[in-house]
Amino acid sequence: MYPLSDLLNLDLSDTKKIIAEYIWIGGSGMDIRSKSRTLPGSVSDPSKLPKWNYDGSSTDQAAGDDSEVILYPQAIFKDPFRKGNNILVMCDAYTPAGDPIPTNNRHKAVKIFDHPDVKSEEPWFGIEQEYTLLKKDVKWPLGWPLGGFPGPQGPYYCAIGAEKSFGRDIVDAHYKACLYAGLSIGGANAEVMPGQWEFQISPTVGIGAGDQLWVARYILERITEISGVIVSFDPKPVEGDWNGAAAHTNFSTKSMRKEGGLDLIKKAISKLEVKHKQHIAAYGEGNERRLTGKHETADINSFSWGVANRGASVRVGRDTEKEGKGYFEDRRPSSNMDPYLVTSMIAETTILG
């Protein structure tokens, strides 16, 4: 009998056919769903891919007596699991009549990014996605004593060593898989809380940042599934004197990247301050447990900014201050935020006002 691994690694190149994994976001806003279909040959343009339906009543996105939801392919990436010409397809969801379903934040974001004033500014987003690895059966962070706690924070950030770094094989597998897929992953590191890690999506224009982060999350969930580990995007996975998990969002426009851009950055930050409550409401569920004013966060009820200040709502880097141009970091989004919502809100508030 062939080992299962032999069958999983079968070379299908002679068949000319490929497998496309259609990916979408379920009704909770954080549950990533996917299913596979066979296509007659290679495809590189999402508009050439067929639309497909799914049972929306099983994802809390449609009623049982009218459950059909239609997937529209939007972005294609190489499949690091099946390899070859097989692909991952990021989709969004519509009714059979062609209307975006209420949870389709991508469609709303595209409207903002397609605005002429936004497009002309070429908005760049770099997202720092933090997450926590949990033991499957007990849902307790990887490397922590069962039912107990490790030593206090301090030794774990960017650490090496069996007593300080937990889950590096998953992190490295994810890093390489994202590069293979064609994602603009910029790096990865161990975070302040043991068992917690971060990867970064490097500056990507407009809607592409959301597409890439969702696909990177999908790849991470698949890898942890294979490893028998749970990945948590909870913004405060362990209560007490432990860091929470964020999705810090770095942002710049073409004008901010030019000489004199720092003045525009300050104006943009002022606009964010005016809309602080609206942004907080959209920056992730449970974020109030993280944004306490402790553990490198600002208090959720107040807005602040500063140069090199990781305790502020918005941080401006030393290099940006020195060069008089660059970008700023919105430190308020939580690890479970929807990047379509967060990136489009930042662009709308700072560019369209």
Look at residue 1 in the predicted model and tell me its pLDDT. 60
What local confidence, expressed as pLDDT, does residue 349 receive? 98
Backbone angles phi, psi at 146, to 5 degrees: -60, 115
What pLDDT shows up at residue 11? 87
| CA angle, residues 73, 74, 78, in degrees to nearest 5 | 85
In DSSP terms, which residues pair with 78 in a beta bridge?
87
Residue 115: helix, strand or coil by DSSP?
Answer: coil
The amino acid at residue 152 is: P
CA dihedral of residues 188, 340, 336, 279 (deg, nearest 10): 110
Spell out the long-range contacts of 8-11 with Cβ–Cβ below 8 A and sequence spacing 24 or more. Answer: 11/84
Amino acid 59: pLDDT: 97
Sign of CA dihedral 8, 12, 17, 23: positive
First vs last C-alpha separation in the chain: 65
Predicted pLDDT at 128 = 98
Residue 7 corresponds to which amino acid? L
The pLDDT, as a whole number, for residue 26 is 97
- Which pTM value belongs to this model? 0.97
Return the CA Rg of the chain: 21
Write out pLDDT tens, residues 173-214: 999 999 999 999 999 999 999 999 999 999 999 999 999 999
Counting as low any pLDDT under 70, the low residues of the chain are: 1-2
Structure tokens at 339: 């990047």
pLDDT in tens, 81-137: 999 999 999 999 999 999 999 999 999 999 999 999 999 999 999 999 999 999 999
- Nearest partner of 332 among 265, 251, 266, judged by Cα: 251
DSSP 277-328: HHHHHHS-TTGGGT-BS-SS--BTTS--EEET-TTSSEEE-HHHHHHT---E
